[in-house]
Each structure stands twice: as C-alpha cells, then as structure tokens.
Amino acid sequence: MRFARFACGALVGVLGLVGTTLRPNAAEERYKAQIDALRKSMEKYKDYKVAVRDLYLSTVGCVHYSGERLAGHMHYPKGAMGIHFVNLTIRGAPDPMKPNVLIYEPVGKELRLVAVEWLVPLKADTKKRPSLFDKSFDGPMEGHEPLIPKAYVHYDLHAWLFKDNPLGMFAPTNPDVSCDGYDFSLLEMPTRIMPGP
Ligand SMILES: [Cu+2]
C-alpha cells in the first residue's frame, strides 16, 4: 500500500513534469476557447477573395527578416511575416474577434492564410500599450518601409492561428513561413522602436 502510494505520487510527479515541459504558454491555454472561436470565425478568409470582398486589401509584398539585430530597433528573429492584407475600415481599440490584418503565405500559385494581426496606431491620446489575451503588443514602432510609411507609428500583435510557429503563437515572425519563389518577396530591415506613453 505504501509502495502503491509512493508509485502513484511518483507518477503524478512525472506527469506534472511532462505537463510543464509540453504545456503551451499560459496565455494560450487560458484563452484557448476564445482563440478557437477566433480561428473558426476567420476560417472563411482561407479564400483570399472573401477577404478582399470584406475590405482586407493586399499590400502585395511578402515581408521577411534576416534576424539581424540593430540597437534601438525591433528584434525580429529570422523568418517571415508573409503578405499582409489590411482592413482600414476596422478602427478603434483592438477587438480580439476582429483583427484588422490577415497574413498569407505564398505557396506555389496559392495564398495560404497563416496568421492574423492587430495593428494599432499610436495616437496623442494613447494612454498605455494595448494587450490582448494577456499579451502585450509589440512597439510602438515606426511604419515598416517600404510598404507602410515610417510616420505610421504603431503597436502590433501577430497570432499564428493557421500555421504553427515554433517561436510561439504571438511571435512577430515565423521561421517556418517562407517568401521564396514569390515575385514580390521583400527583405525588410527591423523597424525602429519609438517612445510610447
Ligand atoms: Cu506583420
């Protein structure tokens, strides 16, 4: 009996350990139902034409980063963001169920929906850094040239809903996303970090 109890305790200990190492980050787990609901509602945008009809408009370039570190700039680990489709009609505080950017990866002749993003401009009346799912937004940072003017200082948060990201669900770049073979591939420099509230 004593042995059984010990064995049981040991098993719980081992399972606990496995649980800690395999557990996705706490925010993802805590918001799993909401993230699942978001993924479900975004699924229709797997067809980019549906996205365009809903005014998510393509910015054409497939953006990727070399992983280079520059002082005072965002650190983007080597990887791609992909092609951003931006909906300028979605404004105001970030709505977890209504991201204003969709991200596609060019695969052969197709565009595959891989992520969504919330893009929030820094305004004179911004009081604090936005956050969703307990995740603080990145930034504030300058606009990403050449596709977004430098003067567009903003915060953003990516969520890799449709393609796993080894760097995490909310990392800005995904090393498993590629712009290779796509005509409008754009290697971007990391963006400059700007002072915020
Ligand atoms: Cu992005």
Per-residue pLDDT tens for 129-187?
999 999 999 999 999 989 999 999 999 999 999 999 999 999 999 999 999 999 999 99
Q: From the CA of 158, how far away is ligand 1's center (Å)?
A: 6
Q: From the CA of 113, how far away is ligand 1's center (Å)?
A: 13
Question: If you average pLDDT over residues 34-38, what whole number do you get?
Answer: 96
Q: From the CA of 105, how far away is ligand 1's center (Å)?
A: 12
Closest CA to 39 of 131, 115, 118: 115
Q: Note the pTM of the prediction, 2 decimals.
A: 0.86
Asked if the model's pLDDT at residue 12 lies above 80, the reply is no
pLDDT value at residue 5: 52
Asked if 50 and 13 count as a contact pair (C-beta separation under 8 A), the reply is no
pLDDT value at residue 20: 46
Pairing of strands 185-187, 57-65: parallel
Question: If you average pLDDT over residues 93-101, what whole number do you get?
Answer: 97
pLDDT value at residue 28: 75
